[in-house]
Structure 1
Amino acid sequence: MRKPPVVVLSGVRWDFLWQRHQALATLFDRAGYPTAFVETTGLANPGPSASRKVAARLRRTGRKDPGGGPFVYPPLVLPPTYRAFRVANRKLFLPRVARDLRGFLGERPIVVAYPPTRTTLDLIPHLDPRLVLYDLADDYERFPGAPKDIASTERELLVLADLVSCTSEPLLRKARRVRPDAFPSGPAVDYERFAALREHPPALPARTVCFFGHLGRERLDFEVLRAIARAGFRVRLLGNAERAEKGFLGEPNVEYRGEVPHHLLPAALAGVDAFILPYRMGDLTHAISPAKTYECLATGRPVVASPLPALESLSKHVYLADGPEGFVEALGNLEGTETGERVRARNRLARENSWEARFRELEDVISRSLRDRP
Structure 2
Amino acid sequence: MNFVITSRQPWEEKNLGSNIRDMARSLSKEHQVLFINDPLDWSSLFAKKSPRVQQRNSFIEQYKGDRLVQAEKNLWVLSPQRLLTSINWLPDMVVYDWLNRYNGNVIAAEIKAAVQQLNWKSFILLNDNDMLQGFYLKELLKPKAAVYYLRDNFLAVDYWKRHGERLEPKLMSKVDLVASNSIYLANQAARYNPNSVYVGQGCDLSLFDPNRVGEVPADMAVLPKPIVGYAGALTGLRLDVDLIETVALRRPDWQIVLIGSTDDSFQKERLEAIPNIKFLGSKPSHQIPAYVAGMDVLINPQKLNEVTIGNYPRKIDEYLAMGKPVVALKTETMSLFAKHVYLAENPDQFIAGIDDALNGRQLSTAEERIAFALEHTWENSLGLMIDAIDRLIAKQPQTA
Could you say which TM-score interval applies, normalised by the shorter chain? 0.7 to 0.9
The CA distance in 2 between the partners of 1:55 and 1:292, in whole Å, is 28
1:245 correspondence with 2:267: yes
Counterpart pick for 1:337 among 333, 340, 361? 361
SS across alignment from 2:230: strand
The code of the aligned residue for 2:153 comes to D
The CA distance in 2 between the partners of 1:32 and 1:281, in whole Å, is 38
The code of the aligned residue for 1:87 comes to W
CA spacing shift, 1:356–1:259, aligned 2, 3 Å = farther
- Offset from partner CA, 1:149-207 (integer Å, 9 cap, x none): 4233111111111111122222122111122331112223223321335879x9xxx71
| Identity of matched residues, % | 23
RMSD value, Cα: 3.3
- CA contact under 8 A between 2:5 and 2:35: conserved in structure 1? yes
- CA contact under 8 A between 1:26 and 1:70: conserved in structure 2? no
The equivalent residue for 2:304 is 281
CA spacing shift, 1:72–1:258, aligned 2, 3 Å = farther
The CA distance in 2 between the partners of 1:272 and 1:63, in whole Å, is 42
CA spacing shift, 1:30–1:251, aligned 2, 3 Å = farther
- CA contact under 8 A between 1:28 and 1:35: conserved in structure 2? no
The equivalent residue for 1:23 is 22
The code of the aligned residue for 1:10 comes to S
The code of the aligned residue for 2:21 comes to Q
- Offset from partner CA, 1:279-306 (integer Å, 9 cap, x none): 0112232222212221222111111001
The equivalent residue for 1:90 is 101
State the shift of 1:351 in Å.
1.5
Q: TM-score, normalised by structure 1?
A: 0.84
The CA distance in 1 between the partners of 2:146 and 2:336, in whole Å, is 29
The CA distance in 1 between the partners of 2:38 and 2:212, in whole Å, is 34
CA spacing shift, 1:212–1:40, aligned 2, 3 Å = farther
CA spacing shift, 1:227–1:58, aligned 2, 3 Å = closer
- CA contact under 8 A between 1:260 and 1:268: conserved in structure 2? no
The CA distance in 2 between the partners of 1:265 and 1:40, in whole Å, is 29
The code of the aligned residue for 1:284 comes to V
The equivalent residue for 2:222 is none
The CA distance in 1 between the partners of 2:268 and 2:258, in whole Å, is 14
The code of the aligned residue for 2:7 comes to S
Larger radius of gyration: 2
1:300 correspondence with 2:323: yes
The equivalent residue for 2:208 is 194
The equivalent residue for 1:319 is 342
1:236 correspondence with 2:250: no
The equivalent residue for 1:221 is 240
Q: TM-score, normalised by structure 2?
A: 0.79
State the shift of 1:136 in Å.
0.8
- CA contact under 8 A between 2:149 and 2:178: conserved in structure 1? yes
The code of the aligned residue for 1:219 comes to R
The code of the aligned residue for 1:239 comes to G
The CA distance in 2 between the partners of 1:198 and 1:275, in whole Å, is 19
1:267 correspondence with 2:290: yes
The code of the aligned residue for 1:227 comes to T
The CA distance in 1 between the partners of 2:226 and 2:205, in whole Å, is 25
State the shift of 1:130 in Å.
1.2
The CA distance in 2 between the partners of 1:126 and 1:308, in whole Å, is 38
State the shift of 1:361 in Å.
2.7
